[in-house]
Every structure is written in C-alpha cells, then in structure tokens.
Amino acid sequence: MKNLKIRIFFINFLLLFSCTLGLSQIKINGTVKDAGSGITLPGVNILVVGTDIGTVTDVDGTFTLNVDNPNGEISVSMIGYATKNIPVSEVKDLEILLEESATTLDELVVVGYGTVKKSKLISSVSKLDNKFLETGIRSNPAQALAGTVSGLRVVNTTGRPGALPNIVLRGGTNFDGTGSPLVIMDGQIRGSLGDINPEEIESIEVLKDASATAIYGARASNGVILVTSKRGAAGKSAVTFKIRRGISDLNVPYNFLNAEDYIKWTRQGVVQAMINGTLGTVAANTALSAIGPRGTGNLYKDASGNIVDGNYSTAGIWSLMRLTDTNKELLGKPGWKTMKDAVKTNAAGNYDPNGTNADLIYKDFNYGDFGLN
C-alpha cells in the first residue's frame, strides 16, 4: 500500500512538471516582407535575443519558432536590411516589414554572394571611387578604370570612336599575357563594360586574387569586375539632372588655293618636272595640252557645236581651256573667269620657252568651300 502511494505521487509530479514545461513555451509565427515592395523575404534570420534559439524564413517568407521566455525579444536580420527587435508577446501571425539598410556603400564591399565591411576583408579587392565616374565624359566605364586600380592595365588599341579598350589584370593568365576579367553587373554576367551606361553605376569593385575562383570558378582566373547599379530607396525620391556644355572651334589649319592659284602653280610644276627630266622631255611632252585639271585640252563644245557632257566624255569634266571665240560665251555665266597663262606655250598648247602666255578660261573653284571647312 505504501509503495502504491509513492508511485501515485511520482506520476502526479511528472504530469505536473510536463504541464509546466508545456505552458512555459510559446509558439510564435509570422511573415517577413520588404517594407518598400511588399515582397516576402526568404532566408531571413530569426533569433531569440540572448540565446542560440533561432530559425530562418522559408521560400514564402514565413517562420515558426518555439520560445521559452514570453518576456523576451526576437531579432530579425538580413544582409542589406536594418535589423529589427520585436517583443515575443507581439509576434503572433505578425507581418514584419524590414527597411533597407542605410549603411553607405563606402563601408561595404561587394564580394560575389553578398557584402562585407572593408575593414574585415582579407582578400585583394579594389573599389573605384565614385568621383572618377562622375568626372569627365566617357563612352564606357572601362576608361574610368585606367590608372585608378593597381595591377589593372587598360590599353586603347585603336582611336576609333566607341572602341573598347583591352583590360588585363596582373598580366593575365594566358601564355601571351592576355586575358580579360569577368564582368558581372548586379549578379548577371556581361560580355564587356561597353554596353553599361556610366551614369547608372553606383560602384565598381575589382576582385584581383585567386579567391574569386572559389565563387565564380575558372572564368574568374583573370579576375572579376563587379558592377553595382544605382537603385531607388523606399520612402525616398531623387531626381538627378545633369547638363554638360562646351565650346568647340573648327580647326581649319590649311589655307586653300583658289582655282587661279591652282592652275598657275600646277602648270609651273609640270614645266619644272619636264626640265628636271622627271616628266618626260620638253620636246615630247604634252602634259600642258592634255585633258585634265591642269591641261588645256578640255572642250566646251565638240566639232558639231554640241556641248560636251562630262558624264560621257572626259574632255567635259574639267573647265580649264584656252580662250576661244567658241568658249568665250561662258564668261556670261556665274563663276567663269579668265587669266594669263603662267607658262609659255606654242599654238598647240605645249610648253615652249619661246612661245607666248596665252589667255586661259576656267570656272572658279575654291577647295576650302568643299574640303575641310
């Protein structure tokens, strides 16, 4: 009888203890969302403050957790968002909204899967100062990297507008010393920096050592350039307006000859070439009487009195001719002028030191109006 009473006492004690344990634990649950977009956030850390009890949100942003202390607090945290502490007593089917972290990018460095404070970073990472992106006008961000990141060589191989420079980090890994870094913008692999607008970039980080291959594999053997784009912040409105202006002067370094000067000097050049023996001989040379811009063999009308069309005959292309009664009527048209020949020629129009300076007719033409002006 005595043993039976002892057994009944222990059974009642165990039942009372188990009920006490059951009553002391509180089951809490909730959903974590982005305060700006309202999108549920998976992978958010839920931790009871002061303990090692915790969990993470599922793919739908929901969580369930058993808590011993009803007067305690839970800490809700995620990279990129401000940590929030909430009393346990308030967490019952609660919708928790996380605000984006106000930590500036100057204090963080993007390293593949997430961010880390620069003071705690042990791998070789260089960050481009935003001031280099804001100054000057560049067709692509690669030009801003030149001379700003140690070990990074940016070489322009051509002067063609819009051409991409070659980017080599620490000599490259190919046998010939080439090899361009992997370019990633907001987690997406890009072919180059050429199609990225510099105005849309928030920061650029360059991963320079072998630790980058642990994240991106063999493609990162030549380094990684991480580009983070600008993005809006919840509760903040920002309008950026930029204008650039400049004054350019047209560079015209040449003083062009007019038609009369051109005829004078080219015909004198032909004579000098004949005298020097570089353009045939004086006796057998017909360069001054031939068809061409410096010869007088060009025609206004043929033997039948028809105007020669330069589209069908080379004799009608150039305007220089000896002045005759046939072509004299051209002087009544705009641009046509006469001049004395600078060299002496015979009746056939060939050079003759004992000849005369004939009257020439030509249409005035200024290369400066059609050349580089």
pLDDT tens per residue, range 314-323: 999 999 999 9
> Is pLDDT at 60 greater than 50 in this prediction?
yes
* One domain for residues 86 and 135: no
pLDDT score recorded for residue 121? 47
- CA 174/CA 68 separation, integer angstroms: 60
pLDDT tens per residue, range 64-81: 888 888 888 889 988 888
Domain assignment of residue 235, yes or no: no
Report percent pLDDT > 90 for the chain. 21
What is the layout of strands, in order, in the sheet containing 182-185? 125-128, 201-207, 224-229, 182-185, 188-190
Single residue among 209, 229, 249 that ends a domain in this structure: 229
Query: For all residues of the chain together, what is the average pLDDT?
Result: 79
Single residue among 229, 251, 270 that ends a domain in this structure: 229
**Helix (H) and strand (E) counts for the chain?**
6, 19
Domain containing residue 149: 105-229
Domain assignment of residue 245, yes or no: no
> Is pLDDT at 299 greater than 60 in this prediction?
yes
CATH number at residue 203: 2.170.130.10
Mean pLDDT of 25-35: 86
pLDDT tens per residue, range 350-361: 999 899 999 999
* One domain for residues 83 and 122: no
pLDDT score recorded for residue 345? 93
> Is pLDDT at 366 greater than 50 in this prediction?
yes
How many domains are there within the chain? 3
- CA 124/CA 151 separation, integer angstroms: 11
Domain assignment of residue 242, yes or no: no
> Is pLDDT at 7 greater than 80 in this prediction?
no
pLDDT tens per residue, range 235-260: 778 787 877 777 877 776 777 778 89
Mean pLDDT of 259-285: 87
Single residue among 82, 98, 114 that ends a domain in this structure: 98
pLDDT score recorded for residue 24? 56
> Is pLDDT at 6 greater than 70 in this prediction?
no
CATH number at residue 20: 2.60.40.1120
Domain assignment of residue 254, yes or no: no
Report percent pLDDT > 70 for the chain. 78
Buried b (16+ CB within 10 A) or exposed e, 106-122: eebbbbbeebbeeeeee
